[in-house]
Amino acid sequence: MKTVHLIQHTHWDREWYFTENDSRTVLYYFMADVIARLEADESLGPLVLDGQTVVLEDYFQVAPDNRERVLKLITAGRLLIGPWYTQTDFLVVGAESITRNLLLGMADCQTLGSRMPVGYVPDSFGQSAQLPMFLAQFAIDRAVIWRGWCEHDVASSEFIWRSADGSSVTTAVLPWGYGCAKWLPTNAEEAWRVLPGILQKQAKFSASAQILLPNGNDQSPFEYGVPAMLDTLNEQQAEYRFVRSDFSRYFQALEGETLAEFQGELLSPKYMRIHRGIFSTRMDIKQANARLENFVSQQLEPLLSVVWRLGLPYPQTAVENIWREAMKSHAHDSIGGCNADRVNAMVKARLTSGQESASQLFELNMKMLAEGIDARQQGKKIIIFNSLPYERDGRVALTLYVPGTDFCIVDASGQPCRWQIVHEEQQDMSVIVQELSNSTTTVWYRKCTLLLEAKALPACGYQTLYLQEDCAAGFVATSGEISALENGWLRLTLDEGQISLLDKRSGKRWEHILQLVDGGDAGDNYNYSPPEEDWRVTSDGALTSATWQRGTLADTLTLNWSIAAPVDQLARQQHLCNAQLNVSMTLALDHDRPLLDVQVSLDNTLRDHRLQVEIPTDIGEMFHFADQPFGLIRRENRPQTLAVWQQEQWTEAPASLWPMQSLVMMHNQSHGMCVVTEGLREYEIPADKPATLAITLLRSVGWLGQANMPWRPGRASGMVLPSPDSQLTGPFHCHFALLPLHQGPDATFWRDVENWRTPALGWLDSGWSRFKTNPHGKSFPSSYSLLSWDTPLHFSTLKKAQNGDALILRGWNPGTSLLSSAAPVAAGDITPVTLAETSLCALQKTVSACAPVSWRIQPAKEGKSDA
């Protein structure tokens, strides 16, 4: 006899083709019904509230009077909550966001009464290889997942899933989804007509006699009559024993079973679509999210940590609110962009609002920091902040407003700093300074965007420079004509409109790099779909201008293309170029770094298309590497399952379209090519160019869902709704870098990657401020370092601990090899902790691939400051 574990649940999309306002209203009535029925019948329950505490946060906004009733049901184990704050995506969203999601979910569960100790991921569009690591760090050793699994990965639907760092969780798959037993009849005879078929499918790949029966669906009412119906079936048949259960009881029943082991990611769309197109849908949302995640975790929180130790308050709740609002945009539909236009606008608005709040916190804390610094030189203070835990030289982007032609920037000893103007324009200062807005005279200043050279920046700290107006620069600026971008490592040339790059270290030359390729997209917000007969146009022959510029710190080449292209899918079918795609690309080669910085700007006037930039690697290997949350993953260039997906009737093609956090590379022992991006999350290995990295810059489609696409046959995903905003017409900008590899990804290479991804930031104390604050009366040094951590690990964050007056410092192993790493050096007690910020028993002298390392730094008593 097989034991069938009834799991009653709801799956709660906060938004999708409907808004969060819609779902919150429905939630009010859903929860009122659940509470009333659980209170009226103590035999009912437990009910799984979708594994995310934001459901209750939303509910308490509209029904605060019911809070105590809900807490009583949670404490009694009849409502199961957590462990997540929101049901987050794992492939597009960043590592710190996933960490904070579990951290805030855990905090909510502690407040509300209990936490479901299972990593429940019912609807993520594919599963990260790092999920077991994240769960294990939060003392969760069991997971339930849906999309992405098939028997080509691991034969059974129950298995031990290991991450590369050695973490493992016992995992159960819902092979036919969380809604496979939705809307069951409450009449036993009627139910028995449908249940055997459901149970046979559920047990098809099972390694045991335990079967999961998830009963619930999207925003569906509580099916309170099902348990009694199953009790009746227990009396009428002997093939199955139905039990009112939950995931914990199910896993207890699995104990003693010998389960297969698996390591890796689960991206197989055999039984259910994983929608590979979401990695590039609404690229503006992806960029806004990456910008916010990186700024908060790697710039704002470190700055707040520094000034907190200097005596200023740490606005912890304000920062937590930024994270919570961002996480409301991190669900699979939300961050995927596979929503109605109105919802996508709300998703982006949350991220934009978070960026505004984070930027204002950064500005005000820089202002308060500058206020307390005793000036060493004449002039306006410029604070250069280095969040990385080691001393470094940097190139700092800085915007200045100066009244005259000349200005000088000096360090604390009065020595001039070098800089070069990247862009300059006239600025009406009444737009910037509120005090000038009522003046009858326009005050014009020069607005100068600079690249500033900063030397010996303190680790996790700052130094102060000074802007002296109406003074000579103090150095001889470099300028003049050039015909190539060249430094000690690289040489870039342009020949008949085609770009070539030479790595002087290896002698390797790449021809025709950075080719723009624009093809049709007959897909929707869920999936890229190649048209049945695609017609691609390229940047070849479309170059209209090339401007070379010699600079003091970096040389640049600005290329402008006017590419004749089809305006929409119909024109593409007719091979009709009835529009222009105007693209500008600025290539910058720093004099002191072996990387090529690339800025792309365009005016998107086309519809139903995909724009990629192709970068040949000339690598003959069958695999490549990309980054994932807290690590690197190796992938096949061409998935082997492409040979069988149509024959086996998969729901979607396992195309060679892949997610990345920010990095993808191909290399062998002698040379290679790496692309690092700022918010671009998708790359492709083209079937006809297996040694080429095609980075998706922009994807334009006009439908939420469509049916019968070549790579996704059958029904439409989501809703068949027009989505004109997803065409992303208008200005678009993106930023990435090329880093040629010499003899593999060594420590120098990884340091270059980190320095590009996490630049030092500059801030000018102009004396003008949108908001004023009273003097705080504190005094700060002109240069300061909070701590140092001389490590090959990459910096993840420095922030205040979730609980207590301490700091959390985190890094992670970016490569595939074991790394040695000492403890950080800082004032106070330093202890290793998990991502959950719980203490570890032993120090780690080595760090596995794909592993994070976190430290709790407890200030000495005399160094403590109230938050």
The answer to whether residues 88 and 148 belong to one domain is yes
* Tally of structural domains, the chain: 4
Q: Which of 366-375, 470-479, 619-628, 802-811 has the lowest mean pLDDT?
A: 470-479
266 assigned to some structural domain: yes
The answer to whether residues 159 and 257 belong to one domain is yes
The answer to whether residues 463 and 575 belong to one domain is no
Which domain CATH number covers 260?
Answer: 3.20.110.10
Q: What pTM did the predictor assign?
A: 0.97
pLDDT at 206 over 90: yes
Give the pLDDT mean for 528-553.
96
pLDDT of 867 = 38
The answer to whether residues 252 and 397 belong to one domain is no
Which region holds residue 813: left if phi is over 0, alpha if psi is between -120 and 50, else beta?
beta
The answer to whether residues 549 and 449 belong to one domain is no
The answer to whether residues 437 and 425 belong to one domain is yes
Classify burial at 442, counting beta carbons within 10 Å of its beta carbon; exposed 0-12, middle 13-18, buried 19 or more: exposed
The answer to whether residues 531 and 588 belong to one domain is yes
**Other C-beta atoms within 10 Å of 574: how many?**
11
Q: Which residues contact 48 (CB under 8 A, 6 or more apart)?
A: 7, 8, 9, 10, 80, 116, 120, 216, 246, 247
322 assigned to some structural domain: no
Q: In the chain, what percentage of residues exceed pLDDT 70? A: 99
Cross-strand pairs, 211: 4
Which helix (H) or strand (E) segment holds residue 858: the answer is strand 852-858
Q: Which residues contact 208 (CB under 8 A, 6 or more apart)?
A: 158, 253, 254, 257
507 assigned to some structural domain: yes
Determine the structural domain holding residue 860 and report its residue range.
790-867
Cross-strand pairs, 800: 807
Which domain CATH number covers 809?
Answer: 2.60.40.2220
pLDDT of 39 = 98
pLDDT at 37 over 80: yes
The answer to whether residues 620 and 665 belong to one domain is yes
Strands 210-215 and 2-9 turn out to be parallel
pLDDT at 551 over 70: yes
Contact 851, 134 (CB under 8 A): no
pLDDT-based confidence at residue 770 (cuts at 50, 70, 90): confident
pLDDT at 651 over 90: yes
16 assigned to some structural domain: yes
Q: Which residues are catalytic?
A: 123
pLDDT of 863 = 43
pLDDT of 862 = 54
pLDDT-based confidence at residue 865 (cuts at 50, 70, 90): very low
Nearest by Cα to 848 from 630, 554, 574, 606: 630
324 assigned to some structural domain: no
Give the pLDDT mean for 226-246.
97
The answer to whether residues 770 and 841 belong to one domain is no
The answer to whether residues 503 and 547 belong to one domain is yes
697 assigned to some structural domain: yes
Reduced to 3 states, what is the DSSP secondary structure of residue 470?
A: coil
Which domain CATH number covers 465?
Answer: 2.60.40
Tokens 């792309």, residue located:
600
Question: What would the pLDDT profile of 488-498 be if each residue is shown by its tens digit?
Answer: 999 999 999 99
pLDDT at 524 over 60: yes
296 assigned to some structural domain: no
Q: Chain-wide mean pLDDT for the chain? A: 96
pLDDT of 323 = 98
How far is Cα 25 from Cα 436, in angstroms, rounded to an integer?
46
Rg (CA), the chain: 28
391 assigned to some structural domain: yes
Question: What would the pLDDT profile of 753-764 be if each residue is shown by its tens digit?
Answer: 999 999 999 999
The answer to whether residues 109 and 203 belong to one domain is yes
The answer to whether residues 14 and 106 belong to one domain is yes
Question: What would the pLDDT profile of 369-408 be if each residue is shown by its tens digit?
Answer: 999 999 999 999 999 999 999 999 999 999 999 998 899 9
Q: In the chain, what percentage of residues exceed pLDDT 90? A: 94
pLDDT of 679 = 97
Contact 553, 395 (CB under 8 A): yes
Structure tokens at 64: 């605060």
